[in-house]
Amino acid sequence: MPGFWARPSSARPREVLLYLHGGWFNWGTAAAYRNLVGQIAARADVEAFIPDYRLAPEHPHPFPAAVDDVQAAYRGLVDEGSERIAVVGDSAGGNLALVLLSLTKESGTRPLAGVALSPITDLTLGGSSWETRAEADPYFVRPQAESLVRAYLGDAEPTDPRASPLQGRLEGLPPIRVHVGDDEVLLDDSRSYVERAVAAGVDARLDVWQGMPHGYAGGVGMFAAASESLDAIGAFLRERPAP
């Protein structure tokens, strides 16, 4: 599968971070995320692989093709001998990361942890922050998001757990950390997912970064919150015991 590797010199063998990039299921490439993922990989002392997955509208049926692609990437890492895999993603990649955690939780080599940055967890766009953060969010408006979701799902239902991880069975998932900016229309996607995960007995925690917009974690050198957020993610991933 095409993608990009980030290999810190201190990376521990047979440990890998599978990073799923954002872009609302309609844009983004593995190569474009190499700086952000390199920052996380260095903090976690692991190698990282960023796969390219099928996007709308260039592929006629991107759902569930994107889910199939990230499952294939995970299986490929396992087949190559990776024994400790953490799954991380942002925005649409955060959606795919959380879906992948549910789909692999009973596999022979299940992920040891998951991290989602500003994930899209509810493709019904039902969170109240679509209204309460509408003026604060500098990037997204609801009609735009609705169009991107339609391009991704086609005729599929947004309540399908493979489309909206908020709708999935969360029992038995590995430890999860979710980071989101307080100025995002996606804020409630993060809040609701973590609330459901905790209720299902998952070791899940939400970090909300005040005044931060969508994609703030990519602003290392511009936002103190970006470095602090990535430091916390790196520490979390380094401390995970074997599953």
Structure tokens given for 184: 């995002």
Strand partners, 6: 48
Catalytic residue among 82, 91, 118, 229: 91
* Angle formed at CA 66 by CA 161 and CA 83, multiple of 5 degrees: 85
184 is catalytic: yes
A 10 A CB-CB count for 238 gives 14
DSSP 148-184: HHHHHHTTS-TTSTTT-GGGS--TTPPPEEEEEETT-
- Asked whether the beta carbons of 40 and 233 are under 8 A apart, the reply is yes
* CA 200 – CA 204 distance, rounded (Å): 10
CB environment 14-27: b (16+ within 10 A), e (fewer): ebbbbbbbbbbbbe
Strand partners, 49: 5, 18
CB environment 210-224: b (16+ within 10 A), e (fewer): eebbbbbbbbbeebe
A 10 A CB-CB count for 203 gives 12
Catalytic residue among 21, 47, 179, 184: 184
* Angle formed at CA 44 by CA 85 and CA 66, multiple of 5 degrees: 45
Catalytic residue among 15, 47, 179, 214: 214
* CA 87 – CA 177 distance, rounded (Å): 11
Instruction: Tell me which residues are annotated as active site.
Output: 91, 184, 214
